[in-house]
Chain A
Amino acid sequence: MRKSGVQLKMQRANTLVRLSPALNNCLTRNSIFYKAPICASLLLQSRSTGSHGPPAHWKTLKQISLETKSHMDFLPVPEGSWQESYSKKQKKANLLLAASALAFGLTYYIVYKSGCIYLHGYDYKTFKTSAGLSGPGVVASFSSEAASKKECDTSKTSPPAPAQADSGESNVSPGGNPQVDDLSKIPDIPDHVQYLIIGAGTAAFGAFRAIKSRDPRAKILVVGDEDSVPYMRPPLSKELWFNDDKEEVESLQFKQWNGKKRSIFYEPKEFFAEPKQLNSLENGGIALLMGKKVVKLDAGKKTAWLASGEKIKYEKCLIATGGKPRNLPVLAKAAPEVKSRTVLFRNIEDFKKLDSLTQQSESVAIIGGGFLGSELACALGKRAKKTGLKVYQIFPEKGNMGRILPDYLSKWTTRKVEREGAIVMPNQSVCAATFTDGKVVLNTDKGQCVAVDVVVAAVGLEPNVELARASNLEIDPTNGGFLVNAELEARRDLWVAGDAACFFDMKLGRRRVEHHDHAVVSGRLAGENMTGAAKPYWHQSMFWSDLGPDVGYEAIGIVDSSLPTVAVFAKATEKDNPKAVVEETGESLRSETEQNCDTTPASEKASPYLETEDFGKGIVFYLNDKKTVVGILLWNTFNKMTVARQVLRDGARNEDLYEVAKLFDIYDTQAEAAEESAAS
């Protein structure tokens, strides 16, 4: 087909250019790539056609053509299949490609394996296992790669130049373990944390537990200035003194109300992660930095500074700095001998100090009639019965817990405390403290004096608000403490809980509470709000105290003896009514109150009766000037806090409190009935 096509084409060309067939021939031949000199000779010949005949030696065109083989017969003749030759060529090329690809691959592999290639990029695998470190981790993973590059270099250049090896190896620890290497690069104190808690007491505990419950992968750093893991303080003035097992006391273990043994530490040391590792924990954790103090905050830049100079940036921060015990000015400026024998009771150290001091001494004076003073008086009173230790309790109020309990109950409690072995000296305050004859002599403003070996000052708590002053945070002028809103927030992403927080209670107004349960409740609330709950303070905290085996009480709300109170006590037996007792016929109590309001002589008559009466168990309601219940005291009445909480919330403004008291089921008749029905 192809052959005949070419011939056809040639014929047509010849017919078209008949006049100069040679030229045509030349052109045609040229078009199929034949030699140019033939054409030149043709042109010469045509130029000489005008003369008288050619010389004899001249050859004809045909002869020349035949001689030079520029003739149609000499045209190359294609043969074989195009496809065949094409695939032959392809095969060759493919083989070449394959071979070179193989050669390249092999070369690359060898070079790569030998570690001579250094890619400028993150090795993400190393990046992850060196554990999500932001800055230092990257540096570390780079350094390990740099090290491998170095190795490659040294293997090529022998001997290795010492100067060259130096710069690369300075980043690599002699052990060469990248994991160890990474850790050594992280600062001991992280420079950035998700949750920062300042203080490591009960409020901090409540907060971190709440945070971790709501944000399972939370990374929390707790910074506390004490050298111990978070612990609960109540047993220090209560159960620990009544534990007879010395070893258990040594390890700070006590028996709970239900008889179970437990440690005062909320969690063992192992519970907490190392601060250094905190940011590398995949599933988060709680790290504890002990013996460190935060001295300044920048709430705007969300930065905290430690006393040791480190800077920590935080996302959310809680201040739970608690308070420190107050001291009496008389003791603060007393002689050093007096000071060294004075214990300001607050932490584990103080407990151990007082415990050991009172074991060696003959007498101890407790100054203060509040919770701590009265509890310690009972605790040491028990020791007094065994060892002959003399225990004095001195305070300006009329009776123990005089600021909390109504007069009659306070006085009654004093008698109970005395029965526990303490010598109570009410209505007087210490006005001088001197050191004479190896004893501390305390003089009171009533002219009495006691000489003791040890003095315990239990005169209240001062909230730790130095941080507020250093950080331009607001302090409540009347109650003290950091001023926070109902959600315990001081500034954006900054909360305060526990003793140090003066918060807005939507029900009872602005207040500051120094009790264990408040630390738990407010700490938990702050923790919830730090994880976005935005809850106000609503669940009222409670508090409790135990004074010897006969007195135990729990309370909620504002329990202040300066408020009017209405109490309902259980009367075990129906004896004849004493003289001073006024019959009440179940009518409204309030009218009764108003009538008796200004009859002071009647109250004086009543007192002798009350002093002989036994306040076994009962309920005391505290009222404000609007006759709303703002506080409830449950005297030796337990498991009724939920009822109290609801009554407090209601306020019981128009209720007969005697009727309200019925709700508390002081005699536990409901519980008994339930038990009976369960038994039958």
Chain B
Amino acid sequence: MAAILVNTSGKDQVIFATKEDLGEPSSAIINLEEDEEDHQPGLILPNGDINWECPCLGGMASGPCGFEFREAFSCFHYSKAEPKGSDCYEAFLTMQDCMSHFPALYPPAKASPDDLSNPPQDGLGLVEIQGEMDSNAIQPERDSGSSRVES
């Protein structure tokens, strides 16, 4: 099908095209592979490391318990113990302790009172956190990922 060209002035050209027109394969040679700079890798980098710059983390990694969170989450992520994260009791406890000082930032409702009094030995709490973050990361953010949905 033919596209329609409307020439408004010398400067501005307008083409109207139908769905069928534009459905034809493009002959333009443009590399659409994303550069590493633009690519938003999500929470886990291709090499398996944690992407601390992921917007999906929100203020977790930069907040007042950011350091403790990183320690606990790294420990869990790289844990080889069985069940996973069972060797991260200490780090987890430190994080919990820190978070309890900032109830406005880390609402205790998220972690039920039981969790606070006896933190899970198996790092289940972290599994939950990770699950939550993963789902956030998977959800495509509008376009550049930093604009309309800046978290």
Q: Flag if B62 contacts A569 (CB, 8 Å).
A: no
Cβ < 8 Å to B, chain A residues 441-459: none
Cβ < 8 Å to B, chain A residues 621-680: 638-643, 645-647, 649-650, 652, 655-656, 658-663, 665-667, 669
A631: min CB distance to chain B, Å: 13
- The count of residues in chain A whose C-beta lies closer than 8 Å to any C-beta of chain B is 98
Q: Flag if B53 contacts A568 (CB, 8 Å).
A: no
Distance, CA A639 to CA B64, complexed state (A) = 34
Chain B residue at smallest Cβ distance from A593: B13
Q: Flag if B11 contacts A565 (CB, 8 Å).
A: yes
Secondary structure at the A interface, as helix, strand, loop or mixed, is mixed
Q: Flag if A406 contacts B30 (CB, 8 Å).
A: no
Q: Flag if B142 contacts A257 (CB, 8 Å).
A: yes
Distance, CA A592 to CA B104, complexed state (A) = 63
Q: Flag if B22 contacts A666 (CB, 8 Å).
A: yes
- In this complex, which of B3, B12, B17 has the most chain A Cβ atoms within 10 angstroms of its Cβ? B12
Q: Flag if A565 contacts B13 (CB, 8 Å).
A: yes
Is B119 among interface residues, defined by CB-CB distance under 8 A? no
When each residue 546-590 of chain A gets 1 if its CB lies under 8 Å from chain B and 0 otherwise, what string results? 000000001000000000111111110010010011111110010
Q: Flag if B8 contacts A603 (CB, 8 Å).
A: yes
Q: Flag if A580 contacts B6 (CB, 8 Å).
A: yes
Given contacts A271-B64, A517-B144, A521-B146, contact A408 B38 (CB under 8 A): no
Given contacts A270-B102, A582-B5, A646-B32, contact A603 B147 (CB under 8 A): no
Q: Flag if B29 contacts A270 (CB, 8 Å).
A: no
Is A600 among interface residues, defined by CB-CB distance under 8 A? yes
Please pick, from A258, A554, A596, A659, the residue contacting B28 in the complex, using a CB distance under 8 A: A659
Distance, CA A641 to CA B26, complexed state (A) = 18
Distance, CA A535 to CA B38, complexed state (A) = 13
When each residue 230-261 of chain A gets 1 if its CB lies under 8 Å from chain B and 0 otherwise, what string results? 00101000000000000000000000111000
Q: Flag if A569 contacts B147 (CB, 8 Å).
A: no
Given contacts A216-B70, A583-B2, contact A662 B30 (CB under 8 A): no
Is B24 among interface residues, defined by CB-CB distance under 8 A? yes
- In this complex, which of B2, B10, B144 has the most chain A Cβ atoms within 10 angstroms of its Cβ? B144
Distance, CA A596 to CA B7, complexed state (A) = 7
Is B131 among interface residues, defined by CB-CB distance under 8 A? no
A616: min CB distance to chain B, Å: 10
Is A298 among interface residues, defined by CB-CB distance under 8 A? no
Given contacts A270-B105, A586-B2, contact A643 B17 (CB under 8 A): no
Given contacts A213-B53, A583-B2, contact A652 B62 (CB under 8 A): no
Q: Flag if B38 contacts A642 (CB, 8 Å).
A: yes
Is A613 among interface residues, defined by CB-CB distance under 8 A? yes
List chain B residues, Cβ under 8 A from A584: 2-5, 15
Q: Which of A160-168, A364-372, A429-437, A604-612 contacts B (4 or more CB under 8 A)?
A: A604-612
List chain B residues, Cβ under 8 A from A645: 38, 144
A557: min CB distance to chain B, Å: 13
List chain A residues, Cβ under 8 A from B102: 270
Q: Flag if A642 contacts B34 (CB, 8 Å).
A: yes
Some 16 contacts from A to B, beta carbons below 8 A apart, are: A216-B67, A216-B70, A266-B59, A271-B105, A538-B35, A554-B147, A568-B3, A586-B2, A597-B10, A603-B10, A606-B8, A642-B32, A656-B28, A658-B3, A658-B17, A659-B27
Other A-B contacts than A645-B144, A659-B27, 7 sampled, CB-CB below 8 A, are A271-B63, A520-B147, A564-B12, A600-B9, A646-B34, A652-B30, A660-B28
